[in-house]
């Protein structure tokens, strides 16, 4: 009997079936394909507390069930009859995720390609500590420390949610009110935060403390301590040398005062905020001292018999508690230094006999005085005079000591009543005279020595020509002096025609306001005029005569011509026109600068022949302007024998013989300008036309 065996095979790869002949038993093989392989995607790392990461399959087919597997265990329900990519959602449990696909018809299954690894990284665990209270006053600070187990984190501090630039350590010193947040990030990039609120209470505002006076007299009411302002809700305590004085005073938004403070010391004020308890010491202090009256003055020490005019010193011992010394002197005496101290210098010029007294004084009053009698002896009279107190260098003057003195002593100079001196610089001379009572008088006089002025002379113009009738000379320094010399008349004028040619010495003399004078000299030259020749210009000249040079008619050469028709040394009859013209030739000597002129007259007639005008009447020039070639047509070769081209200043630039009635001239070598083309007959007569040469 024949038997049949059925076998179901699931394959996912290509295979080969070989049929083997069977005699009694038949085998039926059914081969079903495995589901198509697709890639598992997604996974990765995430931080604890975050949503996790997604796992997906790149593609799928219908009638296929797809089961998500974590670490070999199914997770969630299979996904069936979905075509396209499958997203298995966010996975928060760490592990290896795979996908198994099962054909719902054949039951064939296969694990999809690849896997997704889901890893959960821990976030930092932060504990916060503070170096002190997080509520404090004024300019205090608190150090906030973020402590993370295991370390290895980076940090960023924020103030009220805004990152603080450069605050990247685990500690931060806070000095202002606000929420301080530290963000700690571990090596996996996972972060955690911790908040700390810091409150900084403002110190009471500082006002200025001062005293109404730095001192007070013993037994008086004392001083007032002032503060230039205050705040509400604030108490102000007066403090003397560290100890409170009375009770605190409440602020009222205005100035405060503590009157009748009769104890010496340093007064300060401490302000306390009634709400926060924050305290602040006000600006400044009042240092108050108590002053006693000065003690009685001791005996005065000094010379008691003096000459009138003498200067002497008087002293007394230091007076206890005195801040100043008040001295009195005889009538006519003068305290020249030391008033207010325990030693004075007194000058007795014009003084009478009397008493000198002294007493101590301070802000609280004066002490008992002390006096001594002074006898004044008359000094000799003395007045010093000089022949002149202002002299020039090298001069002398006489000094005389006038008065009742019996002997004379000029310091370092002489012992006579009158002396003659010749100082080289300003000098003060002192004389002392002694009377019969041995009293002396001293006086001095200053002799001012004035330097001779420094005089220079560089004539502003030291060359003149004989055609200058007169000239004022200058150049002497300082200005204001006078000039003398054989060629100078008056104080500063020369007359070259009168003096004649030659070189003269001019002396300049200057005297300053002190009558001191000096001189300087310079040479002045009077030059002759050059001899200029301008010969007659012969021959007939017509308006159509070509321009010609006048250089050959004059000597010396190198001068300048002026007159109608002149351009440089060239005279152009065509420019001048018919008539008689005066031409002036002026020559200036190159060394002396003297000039002379000569004139000649040039007579110009109108064109005298009609033939040359007729011969050129029909001549045509073209193109005009031209760049390189100038065409001439209708030239009367019987009359016109040559052609000459000149520039506007009369220089001949080209000459050509006339050969044919029509000619072509090459003018390419000429510079761009306007030119005159002259048609000349056998007699030298010419008629002209103009053309322009271009670039």
Average pLDDT over residues 588-612: 79
**CA-CA-CA-CA torsion sign (561, 566, 568, 570):** negative
- pLDDT value at position 290? 86
Residue entry with tokens 């000649």: 600
- Give residues with Cβ within 8 angstroms of 251, minimum separation 6: 230, 231, 232, 233, 234, 235, 236, 271
Could you give the 3-state DSSP secondary structure of residue 243?
strand
Fold of 33-120: Immunoglobulin-like (2.60.40)
Contact 604, 576 (CB under 8 A): yes
C-alpha span between 271 and 250 (Å, rounded) = 9
pLDDT in tens, 399-458: 999 988 889 999 999 999 999 999 999 999 999 999 888 888 899 999 999 999 999 999
Is the pLDDT confidence value at 616 over 80?
no
What is the CATH architecture assignment of 382-450? Sandwich (2.60)
Domain 209-291 in CATH 2.60.40.10? The answer is yes
- pLDDT value at position 416? 94
C-alpha distances out from residue 187 to 122, 190, 470, Å: 10, 7, 109
C-alpha span between 620 and 657 (Å, rounded) = 17
Which phi-psi region, left, alpha or beta, contains residue 680 (left: φ > 0; alpha: ψ -120 to 50)?
beta
Of 315 and 600, the structure prediction assigns the larger pLDDT to: 315
- pLDDT value at position 436? 85
pLDDT in tens, 175-225: 999 999 999 999 888 999 999 999 999 999 999 999 988 888 887 888 999
Name the DSSP class of 283.
Answer: B
Average pLDDT over residues 327-349: 95
- pLDDT value at position 614? 67
Average pLDDT over residues 307-328: 93
Domain residue ranges of the chain, discontinuous segments joined by +: 33-120, 126-201, 209-291, 305-377, 382-450, 456-527, 533-604, 610-693
Adjacency order of strands within the sheet including 427-434: 390-392, 440-450, 427-434, 407-410
Average pLDDT over residues 261-272: 93
What is the CATH architecture assignment of 305-377? Sandwich (2.60)
pLDDT in tens, 61-78: 989 999 999 999 999 999
Domain 456-527 in CATH 2.60.40? The answer is yes
Domain 610-693 in CATH 3.10.129.10? The answer is no
Options 2.60.40.10, 3.10.20.340, 1.10.1840.10, 3.40.50.10470; CATH for 126-201 is 2.60.40.10
- pLDDT value at position 232? 95
250-259, 376-385, 389-398: which has the minimum mean pLDDT? 376-385
- pLDDT value at position 309? 81
Mean pLDDT of the chain: 89
- pLDDT value at position 538? 72
Is the pLDDT confidence value at 607 over 70?
no
> Would the CATH topology of 33-120 be identical to that of 382-450?
yes
Of 647 and 561, the structure prediction assigns the larger pLDDT to: 561
């Amino acid at each position: 009997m024949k038997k049949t065996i059925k076998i179901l095979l699931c394959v996912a790869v290509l295979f080969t079936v070989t049929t083997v002949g069977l005699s009694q038993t038949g085998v039926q093989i059914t081969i079903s394909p495995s589901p198509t392989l697709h890639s598992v995607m997604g996974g990765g790392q995430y931080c604890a507390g975050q949503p996790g990461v997604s796992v997906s399959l790149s593609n799928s087919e219908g009638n296929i069930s797809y089961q998500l597997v974590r670490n070999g265990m199914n997770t969630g329900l299979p996904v069936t009859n979905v075509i396209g990519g499958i997203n298995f959602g966010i996975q928060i449990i760490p592990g290896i995720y795979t996908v198994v696909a099962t054909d719902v018809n054949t039951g064939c299954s296969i694990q999809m390609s690849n896997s997704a690894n889901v890893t959960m990284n821990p976030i930092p665990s932060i504990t916060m500590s503070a170096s002190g209270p997080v509520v404090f006053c004024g300019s205090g600070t608190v150090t906030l420390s973020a402590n993370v187990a295991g370390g290895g984190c980076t940090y960023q501090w924020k103030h009220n949610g805004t990152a603080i630039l450069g605050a990247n350590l685990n500690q931060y010193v806070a000095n202002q009110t606000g929420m301080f947040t530290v963000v700690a990030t571990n090596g996996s990039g996972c972060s955690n935060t911790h908040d700390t609120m810091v409150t900084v209470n403002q110190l009471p505002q500082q006002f200025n403390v001062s005293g109404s006076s730095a001192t007070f007299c013993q037994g008086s009411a004392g001083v007032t301590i002032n503060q230039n302002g205050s705040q509400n809700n604030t108490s102000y305590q007066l403090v003397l040398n560290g100890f409170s004085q009375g009770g605190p005073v409440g602020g009222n938004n205005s100035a405060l005062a503590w009157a009748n403070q009769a104890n010496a010391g340093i007064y300060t004020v401490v302000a306390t905020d009634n709400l926060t308890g924050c305290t602040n010491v006000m600006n400044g202090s009042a240092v108050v001292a108590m002053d006693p009256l000065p003690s009685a003055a001791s005996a005065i020490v000094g010379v008691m018999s003096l000459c009138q005019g003498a200067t002497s010193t008087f002293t007394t011992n230091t007076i206890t508690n005195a801040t100043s010394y008040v001295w009195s002197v005889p009538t006519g005496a003068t305290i020249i230094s030391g008033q207010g101290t325990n030693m004075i210098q007194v000058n007795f010029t014009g003084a009478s006999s009397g008493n000198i007294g002294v007493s101590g004084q301070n802000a609280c009053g004066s002490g008992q005085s002390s006096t001594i009698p002074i006898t004044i002896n008359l000094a000799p009279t003395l007045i010093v005079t000089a022949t002149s107190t202002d002299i020039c260098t090298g001069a002398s003057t006489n000094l005389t000591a006038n008065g009742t003195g019996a002997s004379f002593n000029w310091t370092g100079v002489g012992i006579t009543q009158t002396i003659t001196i010749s100082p080289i610089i300003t000098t003060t001379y002192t004389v002392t005279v002694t009377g019969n009572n041995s009293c002396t008088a001293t006086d001095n006089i200053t002799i001012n020595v004035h330097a001779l002025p420094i005089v220079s002379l560089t004539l502003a113009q030291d060359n003149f020509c004989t055609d200058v009738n007169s000239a004022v000379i200058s150049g002497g320094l300082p200005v204001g002096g006078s000039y003398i010399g054989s060629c100078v008349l008056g104080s500063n004028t020369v007359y070259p025609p009168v003096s004649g040619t030659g070189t003269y010495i001019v002396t300049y003399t200057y005297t300053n306001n002190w009558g001191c004078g000096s001189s300087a000299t310079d040479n002045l030259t009077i030059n002759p005029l050059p001899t200029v020749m301008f010969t007659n210009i012969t021959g007939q000249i017509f308006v159509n005569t070509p321009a010609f040079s006048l250089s050959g008619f004059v000597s010396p050469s190198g001068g300048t011509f002026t007159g109608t028709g002149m351009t440089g040394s060239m005279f152009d009859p065509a420019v001048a026109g018919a008539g008689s013209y005066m031409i002036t030739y002026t020559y200036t000597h190159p060394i002396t600068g003297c000039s002379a002129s000569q004139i000649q007259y040039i007579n110009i007639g109108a064109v005298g022949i009609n033939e040359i005008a007729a011969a050129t009447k029909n001549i045509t020039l073209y193109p005009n302007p031209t760049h390189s070639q100038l065409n001439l047509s209708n030239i009367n070769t019987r009359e016109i024998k040559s052609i000459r081209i000149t520039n506007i200043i009369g220089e001949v630039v080209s000459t050509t013989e006339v050969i044919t009635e029509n000619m072509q001239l090459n003018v390419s070598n000429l510079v761009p300008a306007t030119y005159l083309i002259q048609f000349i007959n056998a007699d030298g007569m010419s008629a002209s036309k103009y053309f322009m040469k271009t670039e």
